[in-house]
Amino acid sequence: MLRNPSLHPGEGNRTQVTHPTARTVAQLFNRSYHLALQLMAQHFGQQPDASLRRSQLMNASIDVMTGMMRPLAELLVTMDSGHRGRTAGPTFELDAVPAGPARPDVARRAIGLRFAHLAAAARACPAVPEQVIGMMHFYADLFRHEAT
């Protein structure tokens, strides 16, 4: 596997993943990572003293980590990185700081839309396992319906 894989060129000791399919899967992984963190931020912003075990937001975050991020990471470490003899890997890169809007209904609608966009992007990549896409659709529907 690449040491410190990245989607961006020239970042110090990081190596850019250049294979197109691996880049797509790495982007899906990063977007899933962002959603997991956003769900946590929303939980703590909305109900900081509430039980973590009974929080739908925290449980959804854990589902994203185990049902989306893990399978995508496992896929990435088997994919060609674009560098001879090295596979790709998860990059854990964020384009923005995850933070939820103050209004829970707006946050849930935004989260639902993010899951829907993620599911559409994942559906366009044949390498992504069907169960991962299914989970993305499930959470898109769940959060969209809760926001209304």
In 65-147, where does DSSP find H-type helix?
A: 70-76, 104-123, 130-147
- What's this model's pTM, rounded to 2 decimal places? 0.94
Q: pLDDT, tens digit, for every residue of 5-19?
A: 999 997 789 999 999
d(CA 37, CA 78): 25
- Structural domain tally of the chain? 1
CATH for 139: 1.20.1260
pLDDT above 90 as % of the chain? 80
State the Cα–Cα distance between residues 98 and 86, nearest whole angstrom: 31
* 28-42, 46-60, 107-121, range with the lowest pLDDT: 46-60
The boundaries of the domain holding residue 96 are: 5-147
Among 141, 69, 136, 146, which residue's Cα sits nearest to residue 107? 146
Pick from 56-65, 80-89, 122-131, 139-148: least confident: 139-148
CA distance 109 to 42: 12
